[in-house]
Amino acid sequence: MSSAAFPDNIDQAEIRFLVEKNADGIIVVDDEGVVLFANPACEAMFGRAPESLIGSPVGIPLVAGETTEITLHKPGGAQVEAEIRVVHTNWGRRPARLASIRDISARKAIEEQLRHASKMEAIGKLTAGIAHDFNNLLTVVLGNLELAQRQNEQEPLARILDNATRGARRAAVLTERLLAFSRRKPLEPKLINANVLVCGMSDLLRQTLGETITVQTVIADNLWPIEVDPTELETAILNLAVNARDAMPKGGEVIIETANTELDEAFAPLDAEVKPGPYVLISVTDTGTGMAPEVLRQVFEPFFTTKLDGRGTGLGLSQVYGFVKQSGGHVKLYSELNRGTTAKIYLPKADAKMAPHQTEYPDHRSGRLPVALPGEAVLVVEDDDDVRVYTVSSLRNLGYVVFEASDAAAAVQILKCEPSIRLLLTDLGLPGGMDGKALAMRAQSIRRDLQVLITTAYAGNVLIHEGRLDRGIDLLSKPFTLSALANRVRQMLDRYEPPNRTPGHILVVDDELLLRMMLVDALSDDGYRLEEAGSFAQALEKLDSIGGSLSGAVVDLGLPDQPGDLLVSAIRTIKPNIPIILTTGYSDRDTTKRFSADERIRILMKPFDPYLVVDALRRLEGQPPTSANLR
C-alpha cells in the first residue's frame, strides 16, 4: 500500500470500511485454502454469513490470466455466476491470497439471451436460404407433374402422378413452415379481436384434442385489438394445443386465456427484441408432462421434436416462434416437469388510430347475400341428413339448381350424368371408403373445370397445413352460416372467366431455366404467345423489340443482375396497365406493401402451380368480379 494512495488523514478504520462496503465479495484464504476473512458482500454471494465462512476449506483460487469464472453454490441449490481475481498478500504476517469476487449472473443471463437470439437468427437465415432454393425446385417438380397430369389419359399413370404430386406438395408445406419460422412467410395482417378468434376456435379445438381433454377458455373483457394474420394466429394456437394434447396422453385440461398486459422495462431486457409497451397476451396452458430445462431451450429450433415415431415434424413451435416474431410480438414458454406447460404469446396492441369501431373478422359480412346466376348447378354431398337438408334448401333458396348425394359413389354417378354441375360441395368425412378429398380428386379427374368446396367440422387448418389442397378446392369450416355459404359458393363460381378472349403476348422473366420452360409450356397451352428472358438485361432487350405488343408479364423478383422491382418499373413506363405476375421464393410484408398500390400486379409465392399463373393472368386481364362480395 503506497502512502500516496492513502493520505495521512485516512486512518486504519476508514480503510477497513472500504473493504467492508465494497460491492464485490472479498475473501482471504491461507496456503491451505482455508478462509481467513470474508467481507459482508460475500453473504449475498455465498448465501452464508461471513463469520460462518471463516475456517471453511474453500480451496485455493487458481487464476490463469487476470480473471476466471466460477459458480458459487448457495445452501438450497441456488447458484451465482461469479468472476474472480486473485492477488498474493499477507494476512497476520503469513502469506495468503485475496480473491475479489464479482456477481456476473445478470450479465451472463443477457449474454445467454443474445447468444440464443443470434443462434435463432442464424438458423433462420440458413432455413430461409434452403427454403427459397427448395421452393424453386418444387415449383419445377410440381409444375411438370401438373403438366404431365393434364396431358395424360391413362388411369394407372394418373395414380402414379397423383402420388408424386402429393409427395411434392407435402414437401412444399414443409418449406412453407420453414419460411414461417424464418419470418419470411408473407402475412396478411388484419385488425382482429383475439377473443373472437379464440372463441371461434373452441369447437375445432375440442374436436382436435379429443374427448379426454377438456378445453377451457378464459376471455378478458375489453381486449385490445391486434393486427396480425388471423390464419397464422389460429395455426399458432392450434400448434400449441396439439403439443398440449401430446403432453397429456392420459387426458387433462387445456386452458386458453386472453388478457391485456403491459410489458415493461423489467421484462424487456430479458429479450433484446422485446419492446416495452401494451400487448395482448394469449396463453395456452396444459396439465401435461412438462419439459426439462434442456428441452425448453431448444424447442423453438426447426426440426427439434420430442415426439416419437415420426409423429412430429419439429416445426410446430417453429411456426409459433416465426409468426409471433414476424408480427412484432414475443413468445415465452414456462414449463415444469410433471406439472405442465404454459405458452405465452404476446402480440402488440394495434394502434388505436387504426382501430375501427368494430373489429373485422371473416364470415361476419353483412348486407344482401349473393345469389345464383340462372341455371348454375351445384352438387351437395353430405352423409348427415340434417346438414344435407339444410345445405340443399339454403342453396335452393339462393337460386341454385341443387343435386344431392349422401356418399361419394352416388356423387360420382351424378357428376357423370349432369354436365351442368359447376361446383361440388362435399363433406370431408364420408362413409364408404372415399372421403371428401378423394371424391374431389376423382371429380376433378372427370371434370377438370369443376370447383370443389369441402366442408369439415374439424381440423380445417390441420388439413390445409398437412396437405395443401388442390387448385379449385376450397375449405368451408362447419358450422357455417348461410352468408358464409352464399359468399363462398358465389366466390368460387366467379373464379371462372367467361370464354371468348384473345390470349396476348406475354414476357416470362426468370433466371431458373427449368422454371421458365415450365411457365412457357403452361402459358402456350393456354394460347399465349411468349417471350423469354433470363435476366434483367435480356428482359430490357425484349421490351425494346416487342414492348408495344406486350399484353402481360411474369417476373421473378430475384433476378441475377437487377431486382425484379426495377423491371416492373421499366414495364410500367411502356405499358402502365398490363397485368404483371410477380413470383418470389420468399416475400415479406414489405414486398406485398410495395406493390399493393398497383392493382394490376399479383404476387405468387413459389412453389406455384403453373396454372395458377395462367389463372392469375386471366383474372387480371379479364372482367372485374361480378359480385361485390368478392375479396
Partner 1 sequence: MSNFLLRLYIAGRSATSQRAQSNLYALRSLIGPEWRVEIVDVLSEPELAEQAGILATPTLSYEHPERPRRIIGDLSDAKRVVEFLGIEVKEKYA
Which residues form the interface with partner 1 (CB under 8 A)? 32-33, 46, 48, 53, 56-65, 68-73, 77, 79, 82, 84
Which residue, 30 or 525, is less far from partner 1 as judged by CB?
30
Task: Tell me how far, at minimum, the Cβ of 42 lies from partner 1, in Å.
Answer: 10
Minimum CB separation of residue 116 from partner 1 in Å reads 14
> In this complex, which beta carbon is closest to partner 1, that of residue 58 or of residue 171?
58
Which triple of cell numbers denotes residue 376? 348454375
Of the pair 82, 299, the CB lying nearest partner 1 is at: 82
- Nearest distance from C-beta of residue 21 to partner 1, angstroms: 23
* CA distance linking residue 35 with residue 24, whole number of Å: 16
Nearest CB to partner 1, comparing residues 33 and 429: 33
**What is the Cα–Cα distance from 263 to 279, expressed in whole angstroms?**
7
Helix (H, G, I), strand (E, B) or coil at 26: strand
Between residues 71 and 577, which has the closer beta carbon with respect to partner 1? 71
| Least distance from partner 1 to the Cβ atom of residue 465, Å | 36
Q: To the nearest whole angstrom, how small is the minimum distance from the Cβ of residue 53 to partner 1?
A: 8
Query: In the bound complex, what is the minimum distance in angstroms from residue 58's beta carbon to partner 1?
Result: 5
Least spacing, CB of residue 72 vs partner 1, in Å? 5
Q: Is the peptide bond before 348 cis (omega within 30 degrees of 0)?
A: no
What three-state secondary structure class fits 27?
A: strand
Contact 371, 304 (CB under 8 A): no
Cell of 448: 377438370
| Range 316-351 burial, b when 16+ CB lie within 10 A, else e | bbbbbbbbbbbbbbbbbbebeeeebbbbbbbbbbbe
For residue 91, the minimal CB distance to partner 1 (Å) is 18
Nearer to partner 1, 60 or 148 (CB): 60
Contacts of 426 (CB under 8 A, 6+ apart): 379, 380, 381, 382, 408, 411, 436, 439, 440, 452, 453, 454, 455
Distance of closest approach, residue 32 Cβ to partner 1, in angstroms? 7
Using H for helix, E for strand and C for coil, what is the string for 155-201? HHHHHHHHHHHHHHHHHHHHHHHHHHHCCCCCCCCEEECHHHHHHHC
Using the CB atoms, write b or e for 562-576: b if 16+ within 10 Å. Answer: eebeebbebbbeebe
Supply the minimum distance, in Å, between the C-beta of residue 81 and partner 1: 8
Q: Can you read off the three cell numbers belonging to residue 288?
A: 401435461
Alpha-carbon distance 585 to 604, whole Å? 9
Q: Which is nearer to partner 1, 31 or 497 (CB)?
A: 31
**DSSP label of 54:** T
β-pairing, 377-381 with 421-427?
Answer: parallel
Q: Give residues with Cβ within 8 angstroms of 442, minimum separation 6.
A: 408, 412, 434
For residue 176, how many other CB atoms are within 10 A of its CB? 19
Q: Which amino acid is at 148?
A: A
Nearer Cβ to partner 1, position 157 or 337? 337
CB closer to partner 1, 36 vs 414: 36
Q: Nearer to partner 1 by C-beta: 70 or 117?
A: 70
The C-alpha R_g of the chain, in whole angstroms, comes to 32
- Using the minimum distance from each CB to partner 1, give the nearer residue, 41 or 568: 41
Q: How far is CA 450 from CA 143, 427, 454, 471, 572, in A?
A: 20, 16, 13, 10, 35
Q: Which helix (H) or strand (E) element contains residue 103?
A: strand 94-103
Q: How far is the CB of 292 from partner 1 (least distance, A)?
A: 12
Task: Tell the residue number behind the cell numbers 495468503, with chain if given.
Answer: 96
